[in-house]
A and B are shown apart, each in its own frame.
Chain A
Amino acid sequence: MTPSNGLHVETVRVLLRVVIFLSIAGAAISLRLFSVIRFESIIHEFDPWFNYRATKYLVLHSFYEFLNWFDERTWYPLGRVTGGTLYPGLMVTSGAIWHVMREWLRLPVDIRNICVLLAPAFSGVTAVFTYLLTKEMKDGSAGLLAALFMGIAPGYISRSVAGSYDNEAIAITLLMATFYLWIKAMKVGSIFYGALTALSYFYMVSAWGGYVFITNLIPLHVFVLLLMGRYSPRLYTAYTTWYALGTLASMQIPFVGFLPIRSNDHMAGLGVFGLIQLVALGAYVRSNVPSAQFKSFFAVSIVLVVSLGVLGLFALTAAGWIAPWTGRFYSLWDTNYAKIHIPIIASVSEHQPTPWPAIFFDTNMLAWLFPVGLYYCFQELRDEHLFIIIYGLFSAYFAGVMVRLILTLTPVMCVAGAIALSKLFDAYMDITDLFKSSGSAQASSAADSSSETEKKSSKRSSSKKGFPLFQLLTKAIVLSSFVYYLAYFVMHCTWVTSNAYSSPSVVLPSRNPDGSPAIIDDYREAYYWLRMNTPEDAKVMAWWDYGYQIGGMADRTTLVDNNTWNNTHIATVGKAMASSEEVSYEILKQHDVDYVLVIFGGILGYSGDDINKFLWMVRIAEGIWPNEVRERDFFTDKGEYKVDSEATEAMRNSLMYKMSYYRFTDMHNGREAVDRVRSQVIPSDRKITLDTVEEAYTTQNWIVRIYKVKDLDNLGRDLQSAGKSERQESAAALGKRTRNAKKPDLDLRV
């Protein structure tokens, strides 16, 4: 700390900072590589497969073709205006990287590897922006802590491991960048930073639907500042620049279109924009007139403005100019809203309310450092601290409503946690005052200049005797316990990442009976089979979860996918799955379906299978056809969801049930078989017959079963009677030659 050779200290500090940053970035990136090392460089989950497919389309075609892309291979027979219904930021980013690498650096990189490694690379950048943001809040050391937290917090890792090629991968980086620039703009009051904020906001809008969060958060911040009487020309400059440029820029994204001036979600920004104009006017008048006059001026104008504003809003909404709130928005406020009105939103597991353990699991010690950080923010309460408080409160609420919004909570937790921890370190690591006071008693030169109180204390401490053992000890204890927490945090993060977030979910890790690791690769097996053995224009029907994967891996036309833009179409598929064969066959034929694909985990105990999702299919179908599909029919009299001998009539006749358990008992040589997901016994006496579809392929562990839809019968019978007569024939044959038929030809498959 001695400024004797000041230049050196500064240089060393810069050097240290650079080294620390490099190691944080290194840690952040390498932590996210577990999945690549364990499995391979593969795209994960569901949505990333679509992004990957879109990126491939982008690099193979031109940018304009990409924007005008009409995809006829999804949502058959409707198709999807893909170019106009996606956020292109992610694909454009990786496309640009690909071009730069290929054409400028001459590195022939596969686009898949760029997609896989994009998220880890961006996580390093996120750490930098978190540092900058926290530095604005407190100082550089808090910033470094925040960067470290951000680099390894599992809440963020969950969406940014290698292979998790999703919008969030770059969106969180942009979120932090936008916030940093906003704080900077607000502090400096510069048009330049305001414009940069708008540009980064534009990038964010192009990358993720969550931009609405920023759209509301910044106006809210400004609004609260105005209410607190903290208007300043700086605020005006920063906000209006951001809003005018940002709004205009956000309308350039085809998917967003005119939403920023039409939908209520975006109205807060406009309202605050108007308000700040008035406040600026008021401030100007105020600076020129005495306060008494200003008061009446103020009162009159307030009444006018409020009445005009409310009237205007009502008129516009009534006239249909402003769209009412969207369903997803309602579901944020009323957690039951989605369940009642929009089953398709509620059916997604990441839209469920968050349980407490999940928060602790994702943030560990930040969960309790976060309120402390907010407390410190309250204590200082500069304009930028207010931002952290608002951001913290809102994202904490939203994270409680939807699991996946923990993602937006994590950055603010890191920032607030870092502020708290660095305050604590500031207080406890500073041992100079202890030694200074004891030292100054001996060396009189320093004591002369010190103040009265300091002298007193120095006298006291010197009278108490030289070495402040107990103070040092307390400090050491507190510090060491926090160092322990930090170390534990690192271990926790590593553990969570390696165990919970590194599974691609396309490939499942498992263990052999002897404990050696094994890999269950049924999905890719099935998709590859589809790719190789079916005609190129074959239509595959599956529940929407698998739409993107089928499109990406099997390259076949799907009926519905994870985009879920058309609820009716999804309900149609749900109905086909939930109805009896005769009804389903109609639907299948109407939609030209060639293959039906179901996920079945009964053999392996894989719980994410279609029978477990079945109730959602029923519910969604019931939403459109309440008379033909009824959820009640699928529950037993006791209200249980059963697949064993007590299963209801509707359940047993449904196409889904039949396809899942078709020949299931044959696996066990015709004896009763146990479904290992639901721990229920599937009876062997009731043989499941399929007349309208035939089994085409079943993977090694039976996770994916593919059925081919039969064509109309050659003899003009309906397929049921054809199947019946066929079964009678074979039964007769069975009676004649019992011995031959008894041997099941299942050995190869099992």
Chain B
Amino acid sequence: MAKKDVAAKKASAAFAARPDLDAATARKPVKSSSPISKSINDVVAAVNTTYTNYLKALTPRLKLIDSFLVFLVALGVLQFVYVLLVGNFPFNAFLGGFISCVGQFVLTVSLRMQYALATQSEESKGEDSPFPTITPERALGDFVFASLVLHFIVFHFIN
């Protein structure tokens, strides 16, 4: 189950500080038994289909991006746990580190979206992409630019 959660999260290409959210979503149905068993099944099925679809759409590049995302989430969670356990003494540093994770995460997710959709629309030409003007190359360029800005500020912030 837990494995599946991670996968689902990965698949959905989302989110930052709350890996427990997906886990909770999926786990809850298991606990609560009688009244809404149909919806439980639905949720489980939804997660399943999403996961299979995700696997289907995966290309090596996307896989690379996704593993980077997982790494970022892990890093963010690690820092958060550290703060909870040890305390947030150099608050600047913690904030810089944490936000750099979150920031890099959303940037990468954006890149992934643009990239995935751009390649998708290339395959099926007729469909109008949500990013009409953005080619995969441009997406990468933008991503690098924004990341540089982000890390410059973080570097300035942590002193």
Q: How far is the CA of A280 from the CA of B109 in the complex (A)?
A: 10
Instruction: Check B134 against A249 for contact (C-beta < 8 Å).
Output: no
B-side contacts of A520, CB under 8 Å: none
Q: How far is the CA of A191 from the CA of B150 in the complex (A)?
A: 12
Q: How far is the CA of A284 from the CA of B142 in the complex (A)?
A: 23
- The interface size of chain B toward A, counting residues with CB under 8 Å, comes to 55
Cβ 8 A contact of A195, one of B45, B95, B131, B146: B146
Q: How far is the CA of A241 from the CA of B154 in the complex (A)?
A: 15
Given the contacts A191-B142, A248-B157, A297-B42, A241 and B110 also touching, CB distance less than 8 Å? yes
Given the contacts A194-B146, A252-B157, A240 and B46 also touching, CB distance less than 8 Å? no
Is B15 part of the contact surface with A, judged by Cβ < 8 Å? yes
- Closest residue of chain B to A234 (Cβ to Cβ) is B130
Q: Mark interface residues in B41-73 (1 if CB within 8 Å of A CB, else 0).
A: 011011101100110000000000000000000
Q: How far is the CA of A236 from the CA of B24 in the complex (A)?
A: 24
Q: How far is the CA of A42 from the CA of B50 in the complex (A)?
A: 67
Q: Mark interface residues in B20-38 (1 if CB within 8 Å of A CB, else 0).
A: 0100110011000000101
Q: Mark interface residues in A499-524 (1 if CB within 8 Å of B CB, else 0).
A: 00000000000000000000000000
Which of B39, B43, B47, B154 has most A Cβ within 10 Å?
A: B43
Instruction: Check A189 against B134 for contact (C-beta < 8 Å).
Output: yes
26 A–B contacts, CB within 8 A, in A order: A188-B131, A188-B133, A189-B114, A191-B107, A191-B142, A195-B142, A195-B145, A198-B149, A199-B149, A232-B130, A233-B117, A240-B107, A243-B106, A244-B107, A245-B149, A248-B154, A277-B106, A280-B109, A281-B14, A284-B11, A284-B14, A285-B50, A288-B49, A288-B54, A297-B47, A300-B25
6 nearest interchain CB pairs? A296-B39, A244-B103, A240-B106, A191-B142, A237-B110, A192-B142
A residues near B (Cβ < 8 Å) are 188-192, 194-195, 198-199, 232-234, 236-237, 240-241, 243-245, 247-249, 251-252, 258, 261, 277-278, 280-281, 284-285, 288-289, 292-297, 299-301, 304-305, 308
- Closest residue of chain B to A301 (Cβ to Cβ) is B25
Q: How far is the CA of A198 from the CA of B148 in the complex (A)?
A: 13
Q: Closest CB of chain A to B42's CB: distance in Å? A: 4
B-side contacts of A198, CB under 8 Å: 149
Given the contacts A236-B113, A244-B107, A304 and B21 also touching, CB distance less than 8 Å? yes
Q: How far is the CA of A237 from the CA of B107 in the complex (A)?
A: 7
Interface residues of B in 92-115 (CB under 8 A from A): 95-96, 99-100, 102-103, 106-107, 109-111, 113-114
Instruction: Check A284 against B50 for contact (C-beta < 8 Å).
Output: yes
Q: How far is the CA of A234 from the CA of B142 in the complex (A)?
A: 14
Chain A contact residues: helix, strand, loop or mixed: helix
Is B143 part of the contact surface with A, judged by Cβ < 8 Å? yes
Q: Closest CB of chain A to B90's CB: distance in Å? A: 13
Given the contacts A194-B146, A195-B146, A189 and B131 also touching, CB distance less than 8 Å? yes
Instruction: Check A296 against B42 for contact (C-beta < 8 Å).
Output: yes
Q: Closest CB of chain B to A187's CB: distance in Å? A: 9
Given the contacts A192-B141, A244-B107, A245-B150, A292 and B16 also touching, CB distance less than 8 Å? no
Q: How far is the CA of A294 from the CA of B42 in the complex (A)?
A: 8
A-side contacts of B13, CB under 8 Å: 280, 284
Q: How far is the CA of A186 from the CA of B117 in the complex (A)?
A: 17
Given the contacts A191-B111, A236-B113, A304 and B25 also touching, CB distance less than 8 Å? yes
Q: Closest CB of chain A to B35's CB: distance in Å? A: 13
Is B156 part of the contact surface with A, judged by Cβ < 8 Å? yes
Cβ 8 A contact of A288, one of B14, B53, B106: B53
B residues near A (Cβ < 8 Å) are 11-16, 21, 24-25, 28-29, 36, 38-39, 42-43, 45-47, 49-50, 53-54, 91, 95-96, 99-100, 102-103, 106-107, 109-111, 113-114, 117, 130-131, 133-134, 138-139, 141-143, 145-146, 149-150, 153-154, 156-157
Instruction: Check B50 against A288 for contact (C-beta < 8 Å).
Output: yes
Q: How far is the CA of A281 from the CA of B111 in the complex (A)?
A: 15
Q: How far is the CA of A305 from the CA of B39 in the complex (A)?
A: 17
A-side contacts of B25, CB under 8 Å: 297, 300-301, 304
Instruction: Check B99 against A284 for contact (C-beta < 8 Å).
Output: no
- Closest residue of chain A to B104 (Cβ to Cβ) is A244
B-side contacts of A289, CB under 8 Å: 45-46, 49-50
Q: How far is the CA of A40 from the CA of B16 in the complex (A)?
A: 57
Instruction: Check B145 against A192 for contact (C-beta < 8 Å).
Output: yes
Instruction: Check A244 against B130 for contact (C-beta < 8 Å).
Output: no
Instruction: Check A190 against B133 for contact (C-beta < 8 Å).
Output: yes
B-side contacts of A299, CB under 8 Å: 39
Q: Closest CB of chain B to A211's CB: distance in Å? A: 16
B-side contacts of A285, CB under 8 Å: 12, 46-47, 50
Instruction: Check B43 against A297 for contact (C-beta < 8 Å).
Output: yes
Instruction: Check A241 against B39 for contact (C-beta < 8 Å).
Output: no
Instruction: Check B24 against A304 for contact (C-beta < 8 Å).
Output: yes
Q: Closest CB of chain B to A66's CB: distance in Å? A: 17
Q: How far is the CA of A289 from the CA of B54 in the complex (A)?
A: 11
Q: Closest CB of chain A to B121's CB: distance in Å? A: 12
- Closest residue of chain A to B131 (Cβ to Cβ) is A189
Given the contacts A277-B15, A304-B28, A247 and B99 also touching, CB distance less than 8 Å? yes
Q: How far is the CA of A435 from the CA of B68 in the complex (A)?
A: 64
Q: How far is the CA of A240 from the CA of B105 in the complex (A)?
A: 10
Instruction: Check B99 against A244 for contact (C-beta < 8 Å).
Output: yes
A-side contacts of B38, CB under 8 Å: 296
Q: Closest CB of chain B to A225's CB: distance in Å? A: 14
Q: How far is the CA of A285 from the CA of B96 in the complex (A)?
A: 31
Q: How far is the CA of A645 from the CA of B111 in the complex (A)?
A: 78
A-side contacts of B29, CB under 8 Å: 300
Q: How far is the CA of A278 from the CA of B15 in the complex (A)?
A: 8
Given the contacts A233-B130, A277-B14, A284-B50, A300 and B43 also touching, CB distance less than 8 Å? yes
